[in-house]
Amino acid sequence: MIEFLLLLLAHVLADFYWQPTAWVEDKRAKSFRSRYLYAHIGVVIITSYILLGHFRNPIPAIAIGLVHGIIDIVKLEFDKKGTANWFIGDQITHLLTIAVTAIILTSTIPIEFIHLKDWFHNTKIIAILTGTFLVLSPVSFLVGMLTKPWRDELDKLLPHADDNLANAGRWIGMSERLLIFIFVLLSQYSAIGFLIAAKSLLRYNDKAAAGEIPPTYISKKSEYILVGTLMSYTAAISIALAARLFY
Task: Report pLDDT digits (tens) over 133-190.
Answer: 999 989 988 998 898 888 888 888 777 665 555 567 778 888 999 999 999 999 998 8
For the question of whether the overall pTM of this predicted structure is more than 0.75, the answer is no
97 vs 115: which has the higher pLDDT: 97
Q: Is 147 helix (H, G, I), strand (E, B) or coil?
A: coil
Q: How confident is the model at residue 113 (pLDDT cuts 50, 70, 90)?
A: very low
157 vs 192: which has the higher pLDDT: 192
d(CA 89, CA 137): 17
Q: How confident is the model at residue 238 (pLDDT cuts 50, 70, 90)?
A: very high
Per residue in 198-220, pLDDT tens?
Answer: 777 665 555 544 456 677 777 78
Instruction: Find the mean pLDDT for residues 109-132.
Output: 70
d(CA 124, CA 102): 17
Cβ-Cβ contacts under 8 Å for 220 (sequence gap 6 or more) = 150, 153, 154, 157
Q: List C-alpha distances in Å: 200 to 33, 82, 164, 194, 205.
A: 47, 31, 19, 10, 9
Q: What pLDDT score was predicted for residue 163?
A: 55
Instruction: Find the mean pLDDT for residues 115-130.
Output: 76
109 vs 43: which has the higher pLDDT: 43
Instruction: Find the mean pLDDT for residues 63-83.
Output: 91
